Structures are given as structure tokens and as C-alpha cells.
């Protein structure tokens, strides 16, 4: 588990920090090496450092080594940016936003008060992650007074927990339902989507502009735009559910992370 | 963690009026919410085994009440623990590991007892007590196969070599349970290594996969080594339950328990009882939910299967193919 952050390669001059409470932390463990191999292949002298603790992230951004960060839009909004300037946004088939769906197999009421929802929630900062999830569900019109969360390590487990009646509902990515549909179409057919969360911006790649030169910034942006062309880069992107980077536009963050169309 | 922790390392505390040989060592007190509904939970660990920490902290993070965490000391008697628990005013006891579970369940008849990390709970008499509930350690075969099918979706006819004495009833139940999921288990009893070799050779042409389940006849280095080499040679899918070490050692995929999810599951059960929504008897003993899937891509290449890229984000761990990286 990434308790405080993974060690940085000793020779790298700067850090590329990653902090997104919504990310699958098991996945982060897996992409650490891929990301660093990709950076090395592009002659970018940065160490990729995925972090699961807001406290550690906050400490590290004060360090001169921090040159770039891939960081949750919520953090960018709440912190006023901390000198971070968004450059690129991850996108899946061109879409910079993502959403989750709340599914059930039985009662299709959007009132989940007092019920149990299976969800992928990180072990660290789970209280904050749970509060954030409740807020997201309320925004989607779901009642969650006294709702309990069954914490799973991946979305497929959340679906199975619901299918085996250990939870009343599951909040998952639509892609996980598609995977389960291939394994067991009958089971997947019994799922009913009862709510969709608002669309949320994927975590942008930002630069600490006060301490990073424009030449280095341009080099990193150019490399990230071609990340899908490199096997390690493509693998890391795929694990984090996107397949490209698109230019950041101010409206993306200004819409408080949730949007219809620009 | 936002809740306040009170440390009392190595401080031996008698919960009752026991003059000597304290039955349990208080390790930490975690303050709960200060409301009229606040409850008191005692956690009793069988030992300092690090395996117990993951479910413990997952539980602690989700139960918003005062929690006192103890570890059993050697030579503790059940009556001493029961006396101590009685004096503590605890509303629920959460035990981790077999020793603590049986000691408390055998002597505590009033307070709801919740257990986790206990193998074969039924064999230890933990499934038939009205104040006892728990999360079993045995993952249902259906759950394991749902995960296996992510990496080998075409798997249908699966050989299971097993010892009748150790796993007969369990594998027959699995065979029945898996039929609706499109998996046909071919059961081949064996009592020793020669039996394992014979069973494999007799049936390898009738199956497309081999499943290593928790059985002493196959879950040992010799049998595992034989099955790993043979399945690669015959290009059969080799999937294993219980531990990711099997995938690390060359099985195609393994599903192991997610101990953090076990803690979360236990926390939900505890909260239901503490909130008065259900009784321990109504909840009973539940199988664990969630599993950690590990895929060995080198083995996948050797047996000629390709796991779709879109599946990779759903796996917990992928062991890369170091010989032929995808570049």
C-alpha cells in the first residue's frame, strides 16, 4: 500500500506527483514502474510519485523537487491551485470527464438511506473518500442518510458483493458492468442502473510554473501528448482508464467539476 | 484517520478485577463519537500476526464507536476473558483469528461476538451460536471463478484434483454451485503425489483448465510444481485460490482474499447490530466478499492466451512478462 508515497528514483532531478483520492490505489501501485519507464524513455528527468495521503501531497508540493503534478480537480479548486497551472487533461476517446453509475439487482428506489452500497474506496483517507462519495450520490439525487459503504478494492468486486446480496447497491464505472456482462450475461442483465453521478473531470497534469522552465514544460507536454504511442505509457493510461491527453481549457475546472456541455 | 487514538503500548490492563496475569493487553483505545448512541466495542486479536492488521484497521475506520484493541496473552483462560468482558460493559466483541474467536465464543453467551480471519468456522463450532456472527475465510468457488473468468473467459471444463478426506464435500458443493455459471468441474480424487500425476494424466485431454483449491494433496510444492509445468506444456489454463504466491510462482492467475474488504464486511455487520437493525443470529456467518486477482502474463504467453487490455484495469495485480515485453 502506498502509505506515504513511493520512493523516488535517486537520480531524477524532479518529481511528478500524483494525487487523486478517486483513483484505484491498487492500480497506482501497478503503474508506478510503467510511468517511470515511460518518462525515462522520453529523456524526462522526473520521478513519478503516486500518493494516497493528502497530507504527504501537501508536504511534497512545498518541496522544490516538485515540478509537475497530476492532481484531483477538487484539490485544484479547494486550494486555489498552490501555484499549479493545468496543462493537459486525461481523456478516454476524447472525453475528459467520467461518471459512475449506481446499480441494484432488487429494489430500484433511489432512496438508499440505511442501506449498504458496495464501492471502491481507498483504505487511506477513507472517511474523506466516503464523505465525498455521499456528496456525489446526493448530487445525483440519491438519498444516503445513514447509508453504509462496503469497501472493495475494485468495481467488479462491488458488483459481485451486490449480486451475492452482501450489499443493496454498487457504485461502479460502466466499464465494469461491461466486463461482467462478458463473463456472465445473465447476471449483468439483472443489474438496473438507478442513478448516474454527475460527470467529473479527470485529474489534470499541472506544472509548478514558478519553479519549472518553459523548455522543460514544453518537453513534458509534447511527451504526454504522444504517451499512447509508447507501450509503457499506453499501459499506464489504460490502467487509469484513459487513452489520451487533451489540452486543458479553463471552463473544464470552472464548472465545479460537473458539467453538461461547455 | 481523523479519530483520536490513545496509545497504551505494552500496558497490561485488567478489565476485570484480576490481580495478576492479565488476560489481554490493551494496545490502543480509539475514541468514538460522543453521542447518546455511542457504543463500546472490544477488539481481541489472537496474536500480533501482521495478517490481522489489515482487517483490523479497515474495521476500525468504519465503526464510529469507542474501540479498545487487545491482544491475547499466552495462557489466558476463557473464563478470565469472559469475566473481563463482562466487567467492561462492551456492546460487541470483534475477534481476529481462531484463538480469540473460540475462546470468546465458548465463554461469552450474552454480548454479540463477531469473528474474522478464522479458517473452518463450522468445524470450530462457531456457526451455531445465537450471539456469534462472522466473516468466514473460505471464498465461495463461484466468486473465485467469476474472477478467473476475467482472464480466461472461455474456461469451461475444469479439472479439480482433491483429497476426499480433506475436500470431498466442498468440491462436490463447488461442482453443483458452478453449473449455473457455465463451469463444469471434473472431480479427480487423489491421496498422494502419484495420485495427482495419475489424475492429471488421465484427464488432461478432457479439460481446458485446472483449478488448484485449498487441499493438502495439491497445495504443496511438489504437486504445484508438477501441475504448473504440465499445464504449460499442455497449454491448459491453471488457476489457483488462496494466495497470490501461486501466480507469482507460475500459475496463470490466482484469487486471494482481500483482507481489507473482510474488515469492511465485518464493520458493516457490527454496525447493523450496534444500531439495533439486526441481531447476530440474523446475520450469522457470511462468506467473504471481494478477491485480489493476480495475473501472470508470462504464463499467459506460454500457454498462448491473450488477456484483453480492457480487462487489465480490473485486475489487482499483473505480473509482467519480463522475457517478451510488449514493446
Q: Which of A30, A156, A166 sits opposite B150 (nearest CB)?
A: A156
- Would you place residue B248 in the very low, low, confident or very high pLDDT band (cuts 50, 70, 90)? very high
What DSSP line would sit under B28-81, residue for residue? EEE----STT--EEEEEESS--GGGHHHHHHHHHH--SEEEEEEEPTT--HHHH
C-beta atoms of A150 and B261 within 8 A: yes
- Would you place residue A94 in the very low, low, confident or very high pLDDT band (cuts 50, 70, 90)? very high
Distance, in Å, from the CA atom of B91 to the CA atom of B80, rounded to the nearest integer, reads 18
Work out the minimum CA distance from B295 to partner chain A, whole angstroms.
12
Work out the minimum CA distance from A239 to partner chain B, whole angstroms.
4
Please give the pLDDT value at position A80: 67
Set of chain A residues whose Cβ sits within 8 Å of the Cβ of B291 = 157
Tally of CB atoms within 10 A around A178: 11
pLDDT tens track for A44-65: 999 999 887 777 888 888 888 8
Rounded mean pLDDT of A124-129?
68
Taking the Cβ of residue A42 and every Cβ of chain B, the question of whether any pair is shorter than 8 Å is answered with no
C-beta atoms of A152 and B258 within 8 A: yes
Please give the pLDDT value at position A76: 85
The answer, yes or no, to whether residue A162 has pLDDT greater than 80, is: yes
How high does pLDDT run on average in chain A?
85
Q: Which of B135, B97, B139, B136 is nearest to B255 (CA)?
A: B139
C-beta atoms of A126 and B62 within 8 A: yes
The answer, yes or no, to whether residue A214 has pLDDT greater than 50, is: yes
Torsion angles phi and psi, residue B138, rounded to 5: -90, 115
Map residue B139 onto helix, strand or coil. Answer: coil
pLDDT > 70: percent of chain A: 87
Q: What are the C-alpha distances in Å from A223 to residues A85, A233, B124? A: 18, 10, 59
> What is the strand order of the sheet A84-91 is part of?
A46-51, A14-19, A66-71, A205-208, A84-91, A244-247
What DSSP line would sit under A130-177, residue for residue? HHHHHHHHHHTT-B-TT-EEEEESSHHHHHHHHHTTSSSEEEE-HHHH
pLDDT tens track for B81-106: 888 888 888 999 999 999 999 999 99
The answer, yes or no, to whether residue A260 has pLDDT greater than 70, is: no
pTM for the model: 0.80
Which of A189-198, B131-140, B314-323 comes out lowest in average pLDDT? B314-323
Nearest-Cα residue of chain B relative to residue A30: B317
Rounded mean pLDDT of B211-223?
93
Distance, in Å, from the CA atom of A35 to the CA atom of A27, rounded to the nearest integer, reads 12
Please give the pLDDT value at position B34: 62
User: How many CA atoms lie within 13 Å of A218's alpha carbon, on the beta-carbon side?
Assistant: 3
The answer, yes or no, to whether residue B5 has pLDDT greater than 70, is: no
Amino acid at each position: 500500500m502506498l502509505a506515504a508515497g513511493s520512493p523516488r528514483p535517486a537520480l531524477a532531478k524532479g518529481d511528478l506527483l500524483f494525487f487523486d483520492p478517486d483513483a484505484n490505489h491498487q492500480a497506482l501501485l501497478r503503474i508506478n514502474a510503467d510511468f517511470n519507464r515511460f518518462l525515462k524513455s522520453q529523456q524526462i528527468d522526473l520521478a513519478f510519485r503516486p500518493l494516497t495521503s493528502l497530507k504527504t501531497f501537501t508536504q511534497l508540493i512545498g518541496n522544490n523537487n516538485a515540478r509537475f503534478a497530476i492532481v484531483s480537480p477538487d484539490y485544484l479548486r479547494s486550494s486555489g491551485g498552490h501555484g499549479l497551472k493545468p496543462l493537459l487533461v486525461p481523456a478516454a476517446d476524447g472525453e475528459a470527464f467520467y461518471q459512475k453509475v449506481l446499480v441494484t439487482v432488487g429494489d430500484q428506489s433511489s432512496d438508499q438511506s440505511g442501506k449498504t452500497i458496495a464501492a471502491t474506496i481507498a483504505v487511506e483517507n477513507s472517511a474523506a473518500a466516503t464523505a465525498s462519495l455521499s456528496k456525489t450520490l446526493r448530487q445525483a439525487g440519491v438519498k444516503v442518510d445513514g447509508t453504509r459503504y462496503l469497501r472493495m478494492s475494485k468495481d467488479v468486486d462491488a458488483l459481485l458483493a451486490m449480486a451475492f446480496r452482501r450489499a443493496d447497491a454498487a457504485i461502479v464505472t460502466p466499464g465494469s458492468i461491461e466486463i461482467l456482462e462478458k463473463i456472465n450475461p445473465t447476471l449483468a442483465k439483472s443489474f438496473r442502473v438507478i442513478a448516474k453521478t454527475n460527470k467529473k473531470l479527470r485529474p489534470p497534469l499541472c506544472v509548478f510554473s514558478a519553479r519549472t522552465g518553459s523548455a522543460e514544460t514544453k518537453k513534458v507536454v509534447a511527451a504526454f501528448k504522444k504517451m499512447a504511442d509508447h507501450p509503457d505509457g499506453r499501459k499506464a493510461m489504460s490502467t487509469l482508464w484513459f487513452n489520451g491527453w487533451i489540452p486543458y481549457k479553463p471552463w473544464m475546472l470552472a464548472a465545479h467539476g460537473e458539467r453538461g456541455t461547455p | 484517520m481523523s479519530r483520536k487514538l490513545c496509545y497504551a503500548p505494552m500496558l497490561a490492563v485488567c478489565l476485570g478485577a484480576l490481580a495478576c496475569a492479565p488476560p489481554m493487553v490493551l494496545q490502543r483505545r480509539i475514541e468514538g463519537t460522543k453521542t447518546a448512541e455511542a457504543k463500546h466495542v472490544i477488539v481481541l486479536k489472537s496474536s500480533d500476526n501482521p495478517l490481522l492488521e489489515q482487517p483490523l484497521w479497515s474495521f476500525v475506520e468504519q465503526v464510529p464507536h469507542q474501540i479498545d484493541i487487545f491482544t491475547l496473552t499466552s495462557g489466558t483462560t476463557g473464563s478470565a476473558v469472559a469475566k473481563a468482558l463482562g466487567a467492561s460493559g462492551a456492546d460487541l466483541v470483534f475477534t481476529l483469528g481462531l484463538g480469540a474467536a473460540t475462546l470468546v465464543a465458548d465463554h461469552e453467551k450474552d454480548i454479540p461476538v463477531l469473528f474474522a480471519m478464522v479458517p473452518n468456522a463450522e468445524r470450530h463450532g462457531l456457526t451455531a451460536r445465537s450471539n456469534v456472527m462472522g466473516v468466514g475465510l473460505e471464498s465461495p468457488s463461484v466468486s473465485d471463478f467469476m474472477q478467473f473468468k476475467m482472464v480466461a473467459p472461455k474456461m469451461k471444463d475444469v479439472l479439480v484434483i482433491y483429497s476426499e478426506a480433506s475436500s470431498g464435500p466442498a468440491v462436490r458443493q463447488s461442482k453443483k454451485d458452478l453449473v449455473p455459471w457455465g463451469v463444469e468441474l471434473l472431480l479427480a480424487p487423489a491421496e498422494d503425489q502419484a495420485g495427482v500425476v495419475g489424475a492429471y494424466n488421465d484427464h488432461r485431454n478432457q479439460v481446458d483448465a485446472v483449478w488448484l483449491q485449498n487441499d493438502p494433496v495439491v497445495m504443496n510444492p511438489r504437486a504445484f510444481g508438477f501441475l504448473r509445468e504440465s499445464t504449460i506444456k499442455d497449454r491448459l489454463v491453471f488457476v489457483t485460490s488462496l494466495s497470490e504466491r501461486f501466480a507469482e510462482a507460475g500459475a496463470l492467475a490466482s484469487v486471494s482474499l482481500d483482507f481489507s474488504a473482510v474488515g469492511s464486511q465485518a464493520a458493516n455487520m457490527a454496525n447493523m447490530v450496534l444500531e439495533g437493525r439486526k441481531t447476530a443470529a440474523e446475520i450469522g456467518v457470511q462468506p467473504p466478499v471481494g478477491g485480489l486477482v493476480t495475473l501472470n502474463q508470462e504464463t499467459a504467453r506460454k500457454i498462448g492466451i491473450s488477456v484483453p487490455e480492457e480487462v487489465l484495469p480490473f485486475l489487482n495485480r499483473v505480473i509482467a512478462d519480463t522475457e517478451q515485453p510488449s514493446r
